[in-house]
């Protein structure tokens, strides 16, 4: 893979960096430990400077040169961005050849755009509209009346229930389920009665949704994921949730019904949010935190813990938690000093 | 959707409510913010009274009329129940047309009931028995000898391993897996030896199981989900677990092997339960709680926290957690008052 | 199932146990409560001795005989191991008949070993190499250039993205996804830019991966799961993670990108690990713990809590947590004794 050769000076221009060192040809990119001669690598953090000195790579993308390193440098104020561009340069995205497999099941009323790829055993149901250059991998299911924007990709086994609307350039990873019924029941003396879930889901442009993530359809109305938002694997999004734009949510987080998550929010892994609350723009939630009520970045930006508290408070608190037994002993000692009958 | 017109007075009769206001025709139901003229909406909680005054809906299903609201009211002691019925009235369930796709794979020894729907790329394996009016969406897999009760629905990509038994009127959402091997291994000097998982899973009538939820088959015997029980998305149910009837479990909860969960238990999101314990009838477990030993509602009904403690204790405790650093300082101050060498 | 008869004395020899009691024929194995005459059962823990006395089984696999039990005993120092062997004796694994379904989609360039089974609606893409005796259940997807070692089994709906390498005797349960894109984005003023994930995943021999578990491909390089390692259901493994050999990970655990997990590690359910940390050989992580930094078994073997602390500390601490409100009162009382203006 990625065997196209390019001069370091040319690569520098393409990725927005400045070359320091000899201008030789390179042909690939790899991690700092794995990279060999003729390859470029990447240093995100100055604390890995030792690795940089030991790398066999021909050039390192970095913010500053590492003294003592024998290779060239591609210097840039934003090495992460330059790295992303360099990876794409050596591994340009490959689109599957246009065509509809004879072994796919495409309903005659479905509308297919230009140059779509529909793999074997994929289903495109009645009235679905598939935008230009959409890729539907084998075994994916596009329900009745679903809308798929241009250049969107459905990996194997994705399920889109009836009526779901997906924007342009969306990546839906294998096994994710969009539009399943929200979890709504009314207790009755005869057991739970299902509240029919007759709303839908709308996924904005440029969204990515991870493998086996589930997004429930609204009871009434719409569950929304805003444009540019990225969801990792195994996330649960409940019915009528609204997520803003450019928000990132890490794996196994769960968002209960009717919660409203703002723009540019960052939610770390295994976080849980209760229903009907609001998380304001720009809030950051630490891993495993449990959010029971609305949070605003104006009050405080980063939150952690169960229940969520300001991250700095949580850091102090959590350092002291293991010392709780000691604190009990100290208080008992103080009480003992005061009275004859101190507890310990 | 849902364009059939009905007089408010007739709707009131159907959903068990009393009309207060003008008897006009309505044709749909929507959320309080989205509903327009000719539509009904719903007020679950008096604290949303402001929304009720601003709604454009023609009628509101509620417990009490909202002073100052300009629309009609459908009054009932149980608005949630009336709401569920009204949604169903405007969105009656649609069953897919009976028929077996030529592109499905149905084993000649499988027994199919009347009016079943088997979609393309679905598999019904050897000796499976499919009840009347069962719907199997595309790509679902019904293993060898599986039993499916009447009116059960398998959404796309559901997998039922060999021998699993599913009751009547069960809804299995996309990607759920029932009957995968339980997690059982014996450590040996040569590594882990798998304990063959040769039991099965039994799902009662009227159960609903969420998208991508997994239920493991028993090592020996049966993993059971009782009738009327509702499981949300991405839940893990370990081998030999027994769950009673009319229990509800929210998304991403996990139940370890051989745990026994009673009837009418409520388990909130991301809860974890250890193996071999018992959770009594009617117990409620708060979100993210961690249950390490058996709990009974006789002792206490609602539990929260890690490890689980009575919910009221947890509420008090968790409010104090962020003040733990302060408490350490206060104790150090007390100690300092007592001796010269106080810590702070 | 499992109707082949065998003398207890013969069975004892096969499973490494010693018969105490009458040598009769048995024909199956079942749980201690369900077993009937002619069946063998199993006692892992002496505390279940009452069940042993009440069982209707003809023989019990156990470490020591239970006084007062009326049946025979198969005695062994390792009853769990003998049990596993006995289950396998009565339920020998069944391999699906060799053959490639006409309804599978196998690319002409794919290489299939001997006696492979490829079910209907399975896909084997361009250049994939499928080892001898591999079983691919319906609807599984084997991407471009994937390597599958001998005797590996893919249950329905498994997705292996392009280039993933899987060892021998691996069990991949339904719906697991291997090789989906890692979660890597660079923030830019125009929103997040995706870092192309161009590495791969390598799964060692004798690995088992649970239903709906997800393992992301590396950004560059390889995400690795070592030989003999067992993963339960709904686990997330981030990009560039390395997991050693003979490690067991329970359901719903999550491992963030670039974490390195050693050999013979035990990770319990719903544990979360931050990225770029190291968990040493032999470490044990208690259920729901949150690991934010590297841990070594040399320092301490078992860890629990959020953040993770030595398990023994956590046990003491967590017992005291519910008493935190009491501690606040006691400290206020001490302060009150000291000054007139004590808080309570």
**How does residue B316 score in pLDDT terms, banded at 50, 70 and 90?**
very high
Q: Which of B81, B228, B269 is closest, CB to CB, to A254?
A: B269
- Chains in touch with A (3+ beta-carbon pairs under 8 Å) read B, C
Whether pLDDT at C50 is above 70: yes
How many angstroms away from the CA of C175 is the closest CA of chain B?
7
Contact B317 C325 (CB under 8 A): yes
pLDDT of residue B52: 86
- Residue A2 confidence (pLDDT) above 60: no
Q: Is the pLDDT of residue A72 over 90?
A: yes
Which pLDDT score, from 0 to 100, does residue B339 have? 65
Sign of the Cα torsion C4, C8, C13, C18 reads positive
The answer, yes or no, to whether residue C331 has pLDDT greater than 60, is: yes
pLDDT of residue C343: 42
* pLDDT score recorded for residue A341: 43
Helix pair angle (B324-338, C324-338), 10° resolution: 40
Per the structure block, which two tokens stand in for C28? 């199956």
Residue B332 contacts C where some CB pair is shorter than 8 Å: no
In whole angstroms, give the CA distance from residue B112 to residue A73: 68
pLDDT at C344 over 70: no
Residue B338 has a pLDDT of: 72
Asked whether residue B6 carries a pLDDT value surpassing 70, the answer given is yes
pLDDT at B116: 98
The band of C175, judged by pLDDT with boundaries at 50, 70 and 90, is very high
Q: What is the pLDDT of residue A46?
A: 76
Residue of B nearest to C154 (CA): B180
Residue A342 pLDDT exceeds 70: no
Residue C286 pLDDT > 50, yes or no? yes
pLDDT above 80: residue C341: no
What average pLDDT does the structure give for chain C?
A: 95
Q: Please list every residue in chain A whose beta carbon sits closer than 8 Å to the beta carbon of residue C321.
A: 324
Q: Which of A43-57, B320-334, C57-71, C135-149 has the lowest mean pLDDT?
A: A43-57
At A315 the three-state DSSP class reads helix
pLDDT tens profile A200-216: 999 999 999 999 999 99
Q: Tell me: pLDDT of B212 over 80.
A: yes
Token pair for C201: 């995943």
Residue B269 has pLDDT above 90, yes or no: yes
Q: Considering just the CA atoms, what is the radius of gyration of chain A in Å?
A: 26
Mean pLDDT of chain B: 95
Residue A168 pLDDT greater than 50, yes or no:
yes
**Helix (H) / strand (E) containing B134:** none
Whether A232 and C236 lie within 8 Å, measured CB to CB:
yes
pLDDT at C92 over 80: yes
B188 CA: distance to closest CA in chain A (Å): 32
Comparing C124 with A46, the larger pLDDT belongs to C124
A43 band by pLDDT with thresholds 50, 70 and 90: confident
What integer pLDDT is reported at residue A3 of this predicted model?
56
Q: d(Cα C203, Cα C226) in Å, to the nearest integer?
A: 6
In three-state secondary structure terms, B214 is strand
Of residues A123, A159, A240, nearest to B120 (C-beta):
A123
- Per-residue pLDDT tens for B283-310? 999 999 999 999 999 999 999 999 999 9
pLDDT beyond 50 at B218: yes
Whether A14 contacts chain C with CB within 8 A: no
Out of A27-31, A76-80, C128-132, C339-343, least confident range: C339-343
What distance in Å separates the CA atoms of residue B316 and residue C323, rounded to the nearest whole number? 10
pLDDT band at A238 (very low <50, low <70, confident <90, very high): very high
Please tell me which residue in B91, B107, B239, B276 is annotated as part of the active site.
B239
| C208 vs A: CB within 8 A | no
3-state DSSP of B248-298:
EECCCCEECCCCEECCCCEECCCCEECCCCEECCCCEECCCCEECCCECCC
Q: Which residues of C touch B234 (CB under 8 A)?
A: 212, 234
B127 inside 8 A of chain C by CB: no
Return the pLDDT at A244.
Answer: 98
Q: What is the pLDDT of residue C342?
A: 40
User: How much is the pLDDT for C49?
Assistant: 84
Residues A288, C274: C-beta atoms closer than 8 Å:
no
Please report the pLDDT score of residue B3 as a whole number.
Answer: 56
Predicted confidence (pLDDT) at residue A249 exceeds the cutoff of 90: yes
**Best of A183, A238, A293, A304 to disrupt the B interface by mutation (most B CBs within 10 Å)?**
A183
C309 closest CB neighbour out of A174, A210, A322: A322
A2 part of contact set with chain B, CB < 8 Å: no
* pLDDT over 60 (residue A343): no
What confidence tens digit (pLDDT) does each residue in B179-194 have?
Answer: 999 999 999 999 999 9
Task: With beta carbons less than 8 A apart as the criterion, state whether C164 and C181 touch.
Answer: no
Q: Is A251 on the interface with C (CB under 8 A)?
A: yes
pLDDT of residue A337: 81
B131 CB within 8 Å of a chain C CB: no
> Has residue A132 got a pLDDT over 60?
yes
* Chains in contact with chain B (at least 3 beta-carbon pairs closer than 8 A): A, C
pTM score: 0.96
Question: Is B100 near chain A, with CB under 8 Å?
Answer: no
A299: left (phi over 0), alpha (psi -120 to 50) or beta: alpha
Which H, E and C letters describe chain C, residue by residue? CCCCCEEHHHHHHHHCCEEECCCCEECEECCCCCCCCCEEEECCCHHHHHHHHHCCCCEEEECCCCCCCCCEEEECCCHHHHHHHHHHHHCCCCCCCCEECCCCEECCCCEECCCCEECCCCEECCCCEECCCCEECCCCEECCCCEECCCCEECCCCEECCCCEECCCCEECCCCEEEECCCCEEEECCEEEECCCCCEEEECCCCEECCCCEEECCCCCEEEECCCCEECCCCEECCCCEECCCCEECCCCEECCCCEECCCCEECCCCEECCCCEECCCCEECCCCEECCCECCCCCCEEECCCCEEHHHHHHHHHHHHHHHHHHHHHHHHHHHHCCCCCC
**Nearest CA of chain C to the CA of A159: how many Å?**
12
Please report which confidence band the pLDDT of residue B50 belongs to, taking 50, 70 and 90 as the band edges.
confident
Tell if the CB–CB gap between B183 and C210 is shorter than 8 Å: yes
For B220, the closest of C31, C174, C324 (CB atoms) is C31
Confidence (pLDDT) at A339: 65
User: Mean pLDDT, to the nearest integer, of C187-207?
Assistant: 96
Average pLDDT for B229-239: 98
* SS3 state at B311: helix
Query: Which residue in chain A has the smallest CA separation from B306?
Result: A306
- Sorting pLDDT into bands at 50, 70 and 90, what band is C3? low
Q: How many CB pairs under 8 A join A and C?
A: 181
Predicted pLDDT of residue C141: 98
Identify the closest residue of chain C to A175 by CA–CA distance: C175
Check: CB of residue B181 under 8 Å from CB of residue B217: yes
Closest residue in A to B31 (Cα–Cα): A220
**What gap in Å lies between CA C296 and CA C286, rounded to an integer?**
15
Instruction: Give yes or no for A155 touching C (CB within 8 A).
Output: yes
Res. B342 pLDDT band, cuts 50 70 90: very low
């Amino acid at each position: 893979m990625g065997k196209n050769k390019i001069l370091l000076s040319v690569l520098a221009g393409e990725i927005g960096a400045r070359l320091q060192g000899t201008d030789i040809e390179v042909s690939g990119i790899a991690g700092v430990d794995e990279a060999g001669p003729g390859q470029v690598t990447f240093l995100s953090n100055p604390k890995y400077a030792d690795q940089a000195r030991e790398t066999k790579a021909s050039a390192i993308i970095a913010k500053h040169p590492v003294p003592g390193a024998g290779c060239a440098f591609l210097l840039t104020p934003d090495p992460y961005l330059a790295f992303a561009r360099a990876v794409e340069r050596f591994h340009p995205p490959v689109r599957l050849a246009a065509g509809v497999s004879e072994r796919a099941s495409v309903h005659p009323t479905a509308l297919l755009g230009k140059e779509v790829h529909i793999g074997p055993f994929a289903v495109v149901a009645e009235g679905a509209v598939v935008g230009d250059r959409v890729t539907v991998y084998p075994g994916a299911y596009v329900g009745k009346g679903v809308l798929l924007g241009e250049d969107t990709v459905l990996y194997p086994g994705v399920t889109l229930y009836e009526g779901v609307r997906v924007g342009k350039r969306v990546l839906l990873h294998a096994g994710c389920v969009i539009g399943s019924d929200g979890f709504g029941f009314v207790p009755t003396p005869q057991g739970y009665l299902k509240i029919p879930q007759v709303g839908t889901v709308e996924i904005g442009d440029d969204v990515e949704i991870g493998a086996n993530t589930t997004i429930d359809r609204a009871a009434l109305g719409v569950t929304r994921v805003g444009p540019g938002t990225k969801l990792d694997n195994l996330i649960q999004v409940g019915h009528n949730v609204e997520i803003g734009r450019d928000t990132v949510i890490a794996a196994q987080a769960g968002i209960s019904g009717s919660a409203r998550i703002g723009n540019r929010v960052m939610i770390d892994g295994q976080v849980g949010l209760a229903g009907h609350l609001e998380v304001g723009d720009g809030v950051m939630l630490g891993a495993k935190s449990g959010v029971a009520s609305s949070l605003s970045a104006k009050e405080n930006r980063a939150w952690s813990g169960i229940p969520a508290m300001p991250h700095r408070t949580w850091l102090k608190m959590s350092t002291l938690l293991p010392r709780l037994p000691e604190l009990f002993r100290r208080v008992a000692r103080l009480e003992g000093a005061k009275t004859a009958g101190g507890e310990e």
